[in-house]
A and B are shown apart, each in its own frame.
Chain A
């Protein structure tokens, strides 16, 4: 029989992540919401709580706990703050190509600092001309001796203005089928973060643009083989990127359910709490059903990932389902709250805005269906 139970240790990971989120992140949410800016205190706390170290191997200063543990951490942090979970999930997305494709030199150079939170990572693939279709990007490289010269712009990059260690995807100026992935850092000249976006939700998680102007990158910064960079970034996005969004979505669903239960038990109409009304119970049941189904999809895919089994398609299914039902859960939570759901002092109004950002991040639901369609027809 398949064992669906979490181990005692995994339950403790959940407890640790929940305690962290409730004590270190929750108090910062009002300021994050008001300013839209990243909380330095939250970033520092994430580092101190070893949240960036989860998937980094122990030999490079990480905890080597893998992807089920990461899913647990993301779910618990997102339950309190989707913005913080999103930031954390993209730290890992920037780290993963170094772990999987970086040279020994690059791993030793970057991973210990990333594990401690002394360095902050992101990945930069999306451009105005290509996100879901990364072959459409225009950021281009040309070779000059052993160096690569990169020019171009990236947009919708999470952690754009706080990250100092970035994995980027570029295309050859000469060969439209050749892509290179590099890791760049703050000490290199020729790149900068430019425009900051103002998102409807996930306020406190930074998104913006990066510009590369004659960015000179030594060959030693190459991730994977020259010309094969597309596979490097897509491997990270397919598993870690989609998986991360799934964790964010699960946490949001759990938060919607908790707030809805609390409110419906307290709100009295017709002389009794509205939780006694079947119409409300129906909504609560739907959120719960979706959450349980989403967890099965999510943790199965994460367990496959821990076992080294290819799981990007399974994560596409989980990403589609959980981000769709998270949006549904947020809408139902707002509905349950009635007029209060439209007031900013009620958390569900934030959940609703955050849910809107879950869908397009790391690939829209339509793109997930394209991936799933190819999978079933293959």
Chain B
């Protein structure tokens, strides 16, 4: 049986992006202002796991780290078809950067036990560092393939996957266990079903804190984070109109010059 762990993150609903505010003191997102949803690319990760389960014998564990409210998104993944849910939640985990998050998730995966594949989204829609997957693989001491757009071969100990490049892809052969961070090209995530929600009634979510993970506090949360966000600000967009006069050729020349001055081309 293939043991799959899917890491999911609760992020502020991207549809409500205009309502996300920045705390002027802590320079962090005021996440409680908008509802949490499953990070969009983690839905692709979840879908990859579900498709593998439909093709053969597989067990899906969903793992998330966040405040207790993040339990809702774990429940949602159970409703989609995951078998077991785990939430790493403790004030000691708060304020973690990508490094500390990856470390905590890796410890969570180790505690879950035997695993063959770890799927997660290539990036989160709020942090968007793309670091957590690779750093998690480093802590687990296993290979990682980032930006997976297609699983070509998923039988046996060696998988073949296509990983996106700017103008193409890399065909990668990788030995399990491994971490795969996925792109939206990989699949189209399914939507929740009513019967899936009913089935999730019987599925449990285990909530683990610092004591359950058994790791020192200095490696977690803010204390365990080597990076700090020194500033965070919203972008301001403003529209200006400038009329260009002259012949067609003169207008084109001026336009190119102005675009170059503005750094657009």
- Quick check: is A5 within 8 A (CB to CB) of the other chain? no
Contacts between chains A and B (CB distance < 8 A), count: 42
Which of B105-113, B163-171, B187-195, B246-254 lines the interface with chain A? B187-195
Q: Are B197 and A9 in contact (CB under 8 A)?
A: yes
Q: Are B198 and A63 in contact (CB under 8 A)?
A: yes
0/1 per residue, A39-79, Cβ < 8 Å to B? 00000000001110110000000010100010000000000
Contact pick for B75, options A8, A13, A49, A54, CB 8 Å: A8
Q: Which residues of B contact A51 (CB under 8 A)?
A: 194
Q: Are B191 and A16 in contact (CB under 8 A)?
A: yes
Q: Are B191 and A53 in contact (CB under 8 A)?
A: no
- Quick check: is B3 within 8 A (CB to CB) of the other chain? no
- Which residue of chain A lies nearest to B197 when distances are taken between CB atoms in the complex? A12
Query: Min CB distance, B40 to chain A, in Å?
Result: 12
Q: Are B191 and A69 in contact (CB under 8 A)?
A: no
Q: Are B197 and A23 in contact (CB under 8 A)?
A: no
Contact pick for A15, options B192, B195, B198, CB 8 Å: B192
- Quick check: is B150 within 8 A (CB to CB) of the other chain? no
Using a CB-CB cutoff of 8 Å, which residues 169-210 of chain B contact chain A?
A: 191-198, 201
Q: Which residues of B contact A366 (CB under 8 A)?
A: none
Q: Which residues of B contact A63 (CB under 8 A)?
A: 194-195, 198
Q: Which residues of B contact A19 (CB under 8 A)?
A: 191-192
Q: Which residues of A contact B197 (CB under 8 A)?
A: 9, 12-13, 16
Q: Which residues of A contact B193 (CB under 8 A)?
A: 16, 49-50
Query: Min CB distance, B73 to chain A, in Å?
Result: 11
- Quick check: is B83 within 8 A (CB to CB) of the other chain? no
Q: Which residues of A contact B194 (CB under 8 A)?
A: 13, 16, 49-51, 53-54, 63, 65, 69
- Quick check: is B79 within 8 A (CB to CB) of the other chain? yes
Q: Are A12 and B76 in contact (CB under 8 A)?
A: yes
- Which residue of chain A lies nearest to B201 when distances are taken between CB atoms in the complex? A9
- Quick check: is A321 within 8 A (CB to CB) of the other chain? no
Query: Min CB distance, A260 to chain B, in Å?
Result: 16
- Quick check: is B28 within 8 A (CB to CB) of the other chain? no
Q: Which residues of A contact B196 (CB under 8 A)?
A: 16
In the bound assembly, the distance between CA atoms of A23 and B196 in angstroms comes to: 18
- Quick check: is B72 within 8 A (CB to CB) of the other chain? yes
In the bound assembly, the distance between CA atoms of A15 and B195 in angstroms comes to: 13
Q: Are B76 and A15 in contact (CB under 8 A)?
A: yes
Interface centre among A11, A15, A23, A49 (most CB of B within 10 A): A15
- Which residue of chain B lies nearest to A69 when distances are taken between CB atoms in the complex? B194
Query: Min CB distance, A254 to chain B, in Å?
Result: 15
Q: Which residues of B contact A24 (CB under 8 A)?
A: 191
Q: Are B201 and A16 in contact (CB under 8 A)?
A: no
- Quick check: is A315 within 8 A (CB to CB) of the other chain? no
- Which residue of chain B lies nearest to A20 when distances are taken between CB atoms in the complex? B191
Interface centre among B72, B193, B194 (most CB of A within 10 A): B194
Interface centre among B72, B76, B191, B198 (most CB of A within 10 A): B191
0/1 per residue, B49-77, Cβ < 8 Å to A? 00000000000000000000000100110
- Which residue of chain A lies nearest to B18 when distances are taken between CB atoms in the complex? A265
Q: Which residues of A contact B191 (CB under 8 A)?
A: 16, 19-20, 23-24, 49
In the bound assembly, the distance between CA atoms of A49 and B197 in angstroms comes to: 12
Q: Are B192 and A12 in contact (CB under 8 A)?
A: yes
In the bound assembly, the distance between CA atoms of A31 and B212 in angstroms comes to: 55
In the bound assembly, the distance between CA atoms of A53 and B195 in angstroms comes to: 10
In the bound assembly, the distance between CA atoms of A20 and B196 in angstroms comes to: 14
Query: Min CB distance, A41 to chain B, in Å?
Result: 15
Kindly list 11 other residue pairs between chains A and B, CB separation below 8 angstroms, not including A8-B72, A13-B194, A16-B196: A8-B75, A9-B197, A12-B76, A13-B197, A15-B76, A16-B79, A16-B192, A20-B191, A49-B193, A50-B194, A53-B194
Question: Please, could you name 9 A-B residue pairs with CB atoms under 8 Å apart, sorted by A?
Answer: A11-B72, A12-B75, A12-B197, A16-B192, A16-B193, A16-B194, A16-B196, A16-B197, A19-B191
10 pairs of A and B residues whose beta carbons are closest in the complex? A16-B192, A19-B191, A12-B197, A50-B194, A63-B194, A50-B195, A20-B191, A15-B192, A16-B194, A19-B192
